[in-house]
Structures are given as structure tokens and as C-alpha cells.
Amino acid sequence: MKFAIIGGGVAAFEAATAIRERDPEAEIVLYSKENVPPYRRPALSGMIAEPMPDTRFYLKPATFYDENKITLRLGVTVESIDRAGKSLQLSNGERAAYDRLLLATGSHCFLPPVPGMELPCVLSLREFADLEEIRRRIDSGVRRVAVIGGGILGLELAESLLARNCHVTVIENSPVLLPRNLDAETAQTVSAMLGKIDRLTLRFGESVQSITPGAASGNWRLQLPGGDIEAELILVSAGTRVNLEVASQSGLACGRGIKVDAFCRTADPAVSAAGDCAEIDGSVYGLYNAAKTMGRTAGINLAGGAEPFVLNAYPARLVVFGIKIFSAGTLSGRAEIDGDPAAENFQKRFYSEDGRLAGCILIGDMKPATALLAQLEGK
């Protein structure tokens, strides 16, 4: 049996490993357009500041793939799928046959449709090659950086850039930071904490209108309603969109992601999808642990199993500028606070109308996280 996996992220890796565990004889080929083996993608933002040892960055050493007879085809993009003929068209001109196929194509950074977004001063961080380019720019002397997007990734970028001696302006179009992970009140508290940080400027409730050449050579002007700013480099962290092209061109049903059932199967019995690119019950997760679990589920099922993907609360965990933040569940409704927001150490719990815990935020002390998560998941 020939298994082909499109993608080189954690979902692809987990699927390949799960297939091998169930089927020692299968031929498993993983096609990735990146030039490096599967790695921990969330580590990329911190690596702007400081590279990580290979042993921590890569999911497994190169020898693992040889030992487990998993063929890595790196630097190879799958351009199209012929589902009737069960073959793939590769970017190097080859065609490759498969019996079972997994799409684990992940997502890419969304660039808001603003004049100037196509300029070479605008970058985003999704893949290893993006990291190398950002590091190259900073190494060559770039010091004034604008980050578009004040979510988790935007703040992680800001922290790494400050560690490289940059001046950073974070521009968030919501009225508060971390709009997806905090309620408005907690976001204000966290913003006040971050407002004290040297060389960091926060701009809320504003969207960039255009990017044009700035006054000095090498500078770019970001037009903002509250007053323009100039930067040498602009990093965009304004959400993601699923890599759907090969799936939709091959006629697979797609919404925001590739539509799959709870077993990660598409309507084509030979084709599954997992990770950021998959849409289950209308949800696209965009989270590392969800992609990991989904990849494993898809691999087991492609190799003959029947395990459903189990939905979890998938909390957000973040440490920025030394502030530990945890949030999970629904962050609205009746709330109770324990601890002291002024001391940067508190817990906020949200309850549904029937009195059950619906969501929570922890700032500072993370010890209650496990118990609260279990309560949220009804365990």
C-alpha cells in the first residue's frame, strides 16, 4: 500500500508515524515544499531572537526517517491531484502514484488587502525560509519594525524583535490586544503591563491604510488614522488562511478548510485531511496540538483504523515579556476574579447561565490551569 502525505508540518509527521505503527510494510512518502524536515513551527517566533538547538527544534533527527522507512521529499510542491488516476503532479515534473492520500497542507499568513502589502519591506512568519529572511534583515541593520496584528504571534514577534534591539510598534485593529484570547477588561490590564516596556509602542483600534516610501531611504510610511509612522520592516501577523488550492482544484469539498468527518475523511474514501487545513463540523483549529492529534487520527484511520478526532478545549498559553497568560473556553458571561490584577497575578472565571464553568483566564500563576481545564472539559 502506498501512502502519500502532502505537507511537512506536525500533522503530516504524526500521520506518517501512526501509519508506520499500524503497517510495517507500507510505502510512506511525505512531500513538503519546505527544504527542512518537520519541526516545531511555534518555535519560529522565538528564533528571531535566538536560534534553538536542532535537537529541540526538529520533531525527530534525520535518522528517524531512515529507520522508519518514511521517505521525505523536501523542496517538492504537490501542484495538483488526479483523484481518478490516484496520482500527484510534482513541481519537479514527476508524477507520483498513491493508494491513500493525506492532505496536511496547513495554512499561510493573511495579508490585508492594503496598497503596499506587496512591497519587499513586508514580510510574514510562517515557514523556516521566512525566519531566515527576517533574521537576514535584522542582521543587516534593520532596527525600526512595525508589527501588524496584536494577537499571540504579533506579541511574540514584538518580544523577539525587542531582544534584537529593535524599536517595535504593534498595530492592532481591535480596541484591545489579544482580542481572541482575553476579555476586554483583562486585555486592558495586560496592555497596561506592556505599556511600561521600553522601545515598544502599542496602537489599538487602528488599521493600516497604505504603505508607501518614507522620508528617509530604507524607511516605509504606514498610513494610520491616528497618525502615520515609519518603519524599515513590516511584519504582518493578521491571521491565517488555509492552503486549499490543490484540494479545491481536485474537486474536494472546501469551506474555510477541507471538509472532513470526525475520522478526518473526505468524501473520497482514498483521501483524508488533517491539521490546520482541515475543517471538522465547521471548525478550523489553527492550533498546534489540534493539528498533532488530528494528524495522528488521520494516519490511524488511513491505515485501516476507526478512531474519531476528539474535540478538546485547546487552551492558549503564552509567555510574553515575562507575563504568563493562559486562556480557555468562552470568555464572556458572569465572571469571578481571584487574586490581584495590580500585582499581575490573578484568575478570572466565566460562568454560563446554568452556573457551569464556561471559560477562564489566568495571569501569573499557572498552577490552577490543569484543574480548570479538566473542569471545562467536564472531566
Using DSSP, state whether 175 is helix, strand or coil. coil
Q: By the 8 A CB rule, do 42 and 288 touch? A: yes
Residue closer to ligand FAD by CB (options 36, 270) is 36
Tell me whether residue 97 or residue 192 sits nearer to ligand FAD (CB atom).
97
Instruction: Name the phi and psi angles at 190, rounded to 5.
Output: -65, -40
Q: Long-range contacts for 217-224 (Cβ within 8 Å, ≥24 apart)?
A: 219/144, 220/116, 220/119, 220/121, 222/146, 222/171, 224/171
Q: Which is nearer to ligand FAD, 171 or 229 (CB)?
A: 171
Q: How far is the CB of 259 from ligand FAD (least distance, A)?
A: 15
User: Residue with C-alpha cell 482514498?
Assistant: 270
The one-letter code for the residue type at 269 is: P
Residue 130: CB minimum distance to ligand FAD, A: 8
Q: ∠ CA 337-338-344 to the nearest 5 degrees? A: 95
CB nearer to ligand FAD: pick between 114 and 294: 294
CB closer to ligand FAD, 76 vs 187: 76
Considering beta carbons, is residue 286 or 329 the nearer one to ligand FAD? 286
Residue 209 CB, nearest approach to ligand FAD (Å): 26
Rounded-to-integer distance, Cα 196 and Cα 174, Å: 20
Rounded Cα distance between 252 and 188, Å, is 43
Q: What is the dihedral of CA 329, 309, 102, 108, to 10 degrees?
A: 0
d(CA 193, CA 357): 27
CB-wise, 65 or 229, nearer to ligand FAD? Answer: 65
Residue corresponding to grid cell 515609519 = 230
Q: Which is nearer to ligand FAD, 160 or 191 (CB)?
A: 160
End-to-end CA distance of the chain: 39
Distances (CA, A) of 54 to 38, 39, 157: 11, 9, 21
**C-beta of 227: minimal distance to ligand FAD in Å?**
29
Smallest distance, ligand FAD to C-beta of residue 210, A = 26
Coil/strand/helix, residue 326: strand
Q: How far is the CB of 336 from ligand FAD (least distance, A)?
A: 27
Q: Give the footprint of ligand FAD on this chain (CB under 6 A).
A: 6-12, 31-34, 41-42, 44-45, 77-78, 104-107, 125-127, 153, 243, 246, 275-276, 286-289, 291
CB of 108 to ligand FAD, least distance (A): 8
Please, what is the minimum distance in Å from the beta carbon of residue 21 to ligand FAD? 18
Cβ proximity of 268 and 252 under 8 Å: yes
Q: Which is nearer to ligand FAD, 44 or 264 (CB)?
A: 44
Sorted by sequence, the CB contacts under 8 Å of residue 129 that are 6+ apart come out as 34, 35
Query: Would you state the cell numbers that stand for residue 273, as one nine-digit string?
Result: 485531511
Q: C-beta of 33: minimal distance to ligand FAD in Å?
A: 4
